[in-house]
Amino acid sequence: MSTVEPIRNKKDVEKVEHLLAKQSKRDLLLFVMGTNCGLRISDLLSLNVGDVRNKTHIQLVEKKTGKFRKFPINAKLKPMIADFVKGRRDKEPLFLSHWKHRLDRTTAYYLIRGVCEKAGLQENIGTHSMRKTFGYHHYQKFKDVVILQKIFNHSSPQITLRYIGIEQDQIDDSYSNFIL
């Protein structure tokens, strides 16, 4: 089993968002939340409308770790969420399937993988790519592995760098720039 990769190129992220905007508001919001919050797919899919409606922060207990997590909803997500939850009940799952059940991770996987293939991405993509994309671009912007380590709840900076693909980028760069 190979590990999934982050989407390293911002233009590719934008291309995926553009395709999803044509596809559905649900799919676009799922992807944008995944790439802007760094949540695992299990935590994204567990959200209800009331968890995000008129909120400044998302608060949840992570399914994998059982730890409490709280973070602000950014300016890109606020209007998307407000539009998406209009007329919906607070107890309703945020992401519904076409059959009005909570969207499951397998459907989310095929949705994300399919749109990334459609966008021409060559990386190995899965739902976890959204979380890794968040981490990769967060690191590129702030160069602060310690805060990212805390966000992801990793035990060391090295684990975080390997997780988001920076370690491999550095190895590739080293090889590419070495000529004997």
Q: Is 64 a catalytic residue?
A: yes
Catalytic site residue from 8, 15, 131, 138:
131
Catalytic site residue from 8, 15, 132, 154:
154
**Separation CA 51–CA 1 (nearest Å):** 34
**Separation CA 119–CA 24 (nearest Å):** 16
Catalytic site residue from 8, 15, 40, 137:
40
**Separation CA 7–CA 76 (nearest Å):** 19
**Separation CA 152–CA 143 (nearest Å):** 15
Q: Is 105 a catalytic residue?
A: no
CA distances from 118 to 3, 15, 105, 106 (A): 20, 10, 20, 18
Q: Is 163 a catalytic residue?
A: yes
Q: Is 128 a catalytic residue?
A: yes
Catalytic site residue from 15, 136, 138, 163:
163
Q: Is 131 a catalytic residue?
A: yes
Catalytic site residue from 11, 22, 64, 70:
64
Q: Is 137 a catalytic residue?
A: no
Q: Which token pair is 174?
A: 């080293």
Active site residues: 40, 64, 128, 131, 154, 163
